[in-house]
Amino acid sequence: MIRGRKKRIVPKICYFCVNNLNKADYKDVTLLRRFVSSFMKIAPKRRSGLCSMHQRKVAVAIKRAREMSLLPYLPS
Tell me the pLDDT tens digit for each residue of 4-43: 777 776 567 899 999 999 889 999 999 999 999 999 999 9
| Beta partners for residue 42, in sequence order | 36
Number of neighbours of residue 62 by Cβ within 10 angstroms: 23
C-alpha 64: how far from chain center? 14
Number of neighbours of residue 28 by Cβ within 10 angstroms: 14
Give the 3-state secondary structure percentages of the chain, helix then strand then coil, rounded to 5. 40, 5, 55
Number of neighbours of residue 21 by Cβ within 10 angstroms: 15
Q: Domain extents for the chain?
A: 15-67
In CATH, which of 3.90.660.20, 4.10.640.10, 1.20.120.1200, 3.40.190.290 is domain 15-67? Answer: 4.10.640.10
Q: Give the largest CA-CA distance in the chain.
A: 49
Contact between 62 and 32 (Cβ < 8 Å): yes
pLDDT single digits (tens) 42-70: 999 989 999 999 999 999 999 999 999 99
